[in-house]
């Protein structure tokens, strides 16, 4: 176990030895941190949409789950440019994915400081490079903030277990535990939907084609709509009904979720399926320069019993990515059987947490 204050002590030692050439600052709002320089850094390192100022600002205004406080930690060079920038959130009793409950049960009801929010499945430290000085500065700042706030547990959730950040955190002494898998497909070598389907096992491919024929005969009308023209209330109703089966309906908070999507503007597309004018399937797609995120969905599986709107939404996501020049489709966490059968590949997702203070040992 790493002792409390380890990263603070190491950071101060690094400063004394002349190892740091950046100024670390913490802001309370994304607009205070400088959205222009923030987004330039995020784009330069290829971090996902979840780190764009538009997403962070939308979450400030319309938090999808309860947040005690927002913080934005940056490292600035001598000219005021950003060396790194990362959001962290103060949370209490918020665990929609059951990560705390399943892996850090002692801290489920306590204050935690975490990067990023639970609706992000791909945690980064956007940076010019994840060298030890940068990682050490981030960990020092987070540990110091956690101590100031009286936080019990701090760290990173939803880190790609195969990625550079996981290796850097492990090297720094924050060993991760696998908590999930997330799924994606690289479309670079796949020119069209027919070629994509050809890569799938024959029964899977035949089933998808059968669903498309049944949907056409049933008169299902589908479209990809910009967020300003989408039925967002209808999406939330469908999504809450599905999530309620797992006791997680408030992952989609009525009113807040719609406003959040509207605030994201052009980063959002919604794939809608209607039968005789009634919404029976709705899938929110998030987009950045290279990636289409098949993010969240709600479906009425009873509308046409022979088919699943979820399967049709998957095909629509692949088609939309190809039509708009995206090279990756990200499909988030869970539902591994469907996703692997349909050409998506898993990546381990890890959480890297440390307690802020040593707990007293009884006896």
Cα torsion through 314, 281, 259, 35, rounded to 10: 10
Shared domain for 201 and 313, answered yes or no, is yes
**Domain CATH number, residue 283:** 3.40.630.30
pLDDT at residue number 19: 54
Q: How many domains does the chain have?
A: 2
DSSP bridge pairs for 285: 269, 294
Question: What pLDDT score does 228 carry?
Answer: 95
Q: Give the pLDDT confidence score for residue 358 in this predicted structure.
A: 57
Residue 331 lies in a domain: no
Is 183's pLDDT higher than 60? yes
Q: Looking at the predicted structure, is the pLDDT value of residue 12 above 70?
A: no
pLDDT in tens, 255-314: 999 999 999 999 999 999 999 999 999 999 999 999 999 999 999 999 998 889 999 999
Per-residue pLDDT averaged across 47-73, rounded? 95
Spell out a b/e string for 85-117, using b for 16 or more CB atoms within 10 Å of the CB, else e.
bbbbbbbeebbbbebbeeebeebbebbbbbbbb
The answer to whether position 245 is within a domain reads yes
Q: Let me know whether 209 and 122 are in one domain.
A: no
Q: How many CA atoms lie within 13 A of 149 on its CB side?
A: 26
Question: Is there a contact between 96 and 250 (Cβ–Cβ < 8 Å)?
Answer: yes
Q: What average pLDDT does range 53-75 have in this prediction? A: 95
Residue 130 belongs to some domain of the structure: yes
Separation CA 233–CA 235 (nearest Å): 5
Residue 127: partners with Cβ closer than 8 Å, 6 or more residues away: 41, 45, 75, 83, 84, 85, 134
**Residue 335 domain-assigned (yes or no):** no
Q: Are residues 209 and 175 in the same domain?
A: no
Confidence band, pLDDT 50/70/90 cuts, at residue 3: very low
pTM, two decimals, is 0.89
Higher pLDDT, residue 109 or 111? 111
- 261 lies in which domain range? 189-326
Q: Would you say residue 208 has pLDDT above 60?
A: yes
């Amino acid at each position: 176990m790493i002792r409390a204050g380890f990263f603070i002590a190491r950071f101060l030692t690094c400063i004394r030895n002349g190892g740091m050439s950046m100024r670390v600052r913490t802001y309370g709002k994304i607009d205070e941190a400088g959205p222009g320089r923030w987004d330039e850094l995020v784009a330069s390192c290829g971090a996902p949409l979840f780190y764009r100022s538009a997403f962070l600002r939308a979450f400030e205004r319309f938090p999808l789950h309860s947040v005690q406080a927002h913080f934005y930690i940056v490292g600035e060079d001598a000219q005021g440019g950003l060396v790194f920038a990362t959001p962290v959130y103060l949370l209490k009793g918020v665990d929609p994915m059951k990560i705390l409950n399943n892996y850090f049960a002692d801290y489920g009801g306590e204050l935690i400081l975490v990067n990023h929010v639970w609706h992000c499945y791909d945690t980064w430290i956007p940076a010019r490079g994840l060298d030890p000085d940068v990682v050490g500065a981030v960990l020092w700042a987070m540990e110091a903030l956690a101590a100031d706030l009286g936080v019990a547990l701090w760290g990173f959730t939803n880190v790609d277990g195969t990625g550079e950040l996981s290796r850097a955190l492990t090297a720094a002494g924050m060993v991760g535990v696998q908590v999930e898998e997330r799924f994606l497909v690289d479309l670079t070598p796949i020119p069209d939907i027919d070629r994509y389907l050809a890569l799938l096992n024959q029964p899977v491919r035949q089933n998808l084609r059968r669903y498309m024929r049944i949907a056409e005969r049933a008169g299902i009308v589908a479209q990809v709509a910009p967020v300003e023209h989408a039925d967002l209330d209808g999406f939330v109703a469908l999504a809450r009904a599905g999530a309620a089966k797992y006791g997680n309906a408030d992952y989609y908070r009525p009113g807040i979720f719609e406003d959040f999507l509207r605030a994201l503007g052009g980063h959002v597309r919604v794939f809608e399926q209607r039968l005789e004018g009634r919404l029976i399937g709705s899938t929110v797609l998030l987009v950045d320069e290279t990636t289409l995120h098949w993010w969240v969905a709600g479906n009425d599986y009873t509308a046409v019993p022979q088919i699943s709107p979820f399967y049709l939404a998957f095909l629509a996501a692949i088609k939309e990515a190809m039509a708009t020049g995206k090279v990756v489709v990200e499909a988030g966490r869970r539902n591994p059987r469907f996703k692997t059968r349909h050409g998506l590949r898993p990546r381990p997702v890890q959480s890297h947490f440390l307690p802020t203070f040593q707990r007293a040992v009884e006896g």
